[in-house]
């Protein structure tokens, strides 16, 4: 590496930087020497050199930001990700058209980053009964969130010959700071407050839960890898049912929770078993080690 190159700071634009994943990713990238430019929504305080306002549903806004920042890397996390979100059209406006606006902005201002990492979701696989879903499985989404991500992926693949893009499909992941409308934080909060009971949906659904710290380490390593024009699962390959998580949290805290199954929480489209194959990820970034889920649970309970 030339000394000139060494002095050039790597500038990485992160959309959705103020979200759960974004917080961890920004910290990880900064710790690895990136100058991170975070995008913020309308009301999130003033713009600074490393915080720029971006409405990804606005093509003009996207062009302005890409033209002014000209980032070495783009990590696109901004999305509507809560499956129960009220307005179905928002999923498509933000998740599909917002992503298209970013890609078109790069083309419009003549800027080709070293890599764009675009976050999709393992929800695109739909209700597949398998304990090792790999990237070759068909996409059979069963809700608007998943359908919008599948549509986004299909659109993004048409750009593979124009921009160096890697699509990541994270399976479920969790950690400190995740909103309590997600399952594991909800369970953790109930144990931490020593509540007598909890209302859940089907506690026999099984999920491949990763630790958010593992997920962002994988994202950072993938940015640095040669992988492009590809799609990769981010997962551990080890599923846990909510029943197992409840039992483990009970063991760790010495507290018993009475579980009430609320029929309103049982979604007809709920995927029963979702566990991924991390084989491709391990091939691309072999140095990234997953964090055992019981360690994640212990970390969250200790918060």
249 in a domain, yes or no?
no
150 in a domain, yes or no?
yes
> Collapsing DSSP states into helix, strand and coil, what is residue 110?
coil
Percent of the chain whose predicted confidence (pLDDT) is above 70: 97
Give me 132's structure tokens: 């090792």
Give me 51's structure tokens: 């915080």
180 in a domain, yes or no?
no
- pLDDT single digits (tens) 189-234: 999 999 999 999 999 888 999 999 999 999 999 999 999 999 999 9
Beta bridge partners of 167: 118, 231
Active site residues: 145
203 in a domain, yes or no?
no
H helices of the chain, in order, are 3-7, 20-31, 59-69, 88-92, 98-108, 144-157, 183-192, 212-224, 242-253, 279-284, 293-301
199 in a domain, yes or no?
no
User: Is residue 242 predicted with pLDDT exceeding 60?
Assistant: yes
Nearest Cα residue to 106 out of 54, 66, 156:
66
Query: Does residue 197 contact residue 257 with C-beta atoms inside 8 Å?
Result: yes
Number of compact structural domains in the chain: 1
20 in a domain, yes or no?
yes
Model pLDDT, residue 1: 41
Cα–Cα dist 187/250, whole Å: 10
104 in a domain, yes or no?
yes
188 in a domain, yes or no?
no
> Collapsing DSSP states into helix, strand and coil, what is residue 253?
helix
What CATH code is carried by the domain that includes residue 71? 3.40.50.720
- Angle at Cα 267 formed by Cα 265 and Cα 271, nearest 5°? 120
Cα–Cα dist 20/150, whole Å: 22
Model pLDDT, residue 265: 86
Model pLDDT, residue 2: 42
Cα–Cα dist 78/76, whole Å: 6
The number of beta carbons lying within 10 Å of the beta carbon of residue 283 is: 10
* Average pLDDT score over the chain: 93
Structural domain span for residue 91: 10-173+212-235+272-290
- pLDDT single digits (tens) 15-72: 999 999 999 999 999 999 999 999 988 777 889 999 999 999 999 999 999 999 999 9
- Name the pTM for this structure: 0.94
- pLDDT single digits (tens) 158-194: 999 999 999 999 999 999 999 998 899 999 999 999 9
Model pLDDT, residue 7: 60
Q: To the nearest 10°, the Cα dihedral for 143, 149, 150, 153? A: 180
Q: To the nearest 10°, the Cα dihedral for 131, 134, 90, 40? A: 100
Query: Does residue 164 contact residue 114 with C-beta atoms inside 8 Å?
Result: yes
Query: Does residue 175 contact residue 24 with C-beta atoms inside 8 Å?
Result: yes
């Amino acid at each position: 590496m030339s000394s000139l190159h060494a002095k050039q700071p790597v500038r990485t634009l992160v959309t959705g930087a103020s979200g759960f994943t974004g917080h961890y990713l920004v910290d990880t990238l900064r710790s690895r020497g990136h100058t991170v430019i975070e995008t913020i929504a309308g009301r999130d305080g003033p713009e600074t050199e490393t915080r720029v306002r971006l409405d990804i549903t606005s093509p003009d806004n996207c062009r302005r930001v890409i033209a002014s920042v000209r980032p070495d890397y783009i990590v696109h996390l901004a999305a509507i990700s809560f499956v129960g979100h009220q307005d179905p059209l928002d999923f498509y406006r933000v998740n599909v058209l917002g992503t298209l606006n970013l890609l078109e902005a790069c083309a419009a201002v003549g800027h080709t980053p070293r890599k764009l990492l675009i976050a999709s979701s393992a929800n695109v696989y739909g209700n597949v009964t398998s304990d090792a879903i790999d990237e070759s499985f068909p996409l059979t989404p069963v809700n608007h969130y998943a359908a919008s991500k599948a549509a986004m992926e299909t659109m993004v693949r048409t750009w593979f010959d124009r921009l160096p893009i890697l699509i990541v499909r994270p399976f479920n992941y969790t950690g400190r700071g995740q909103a309590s409308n997600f399952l594991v934080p909800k369970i953790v909060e109930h144990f931490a407050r020593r509540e007598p009971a909890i209302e859940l949906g089907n506690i026999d659904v099984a999920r491949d839960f990763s630790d958010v710290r593992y997920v962002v380490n994988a994202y950072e390593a993938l940015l640095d890898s040669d992988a492009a024009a590809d799609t990769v699962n981010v997962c551990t390959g080890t599923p846990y049912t909510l029943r197992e998580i409840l039992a483990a949290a009970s063991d760790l805290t010495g507290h018993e929770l009475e579980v009430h199954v609320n029929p309103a929480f049982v979604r007809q489209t709920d995927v029963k078993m979702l566990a991924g194959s991390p084989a491709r990820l391990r091939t691309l970034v072999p140095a990234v080690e997953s964090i055992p889920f019981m360690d994640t649970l212990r970390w969250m309970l200790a918060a």
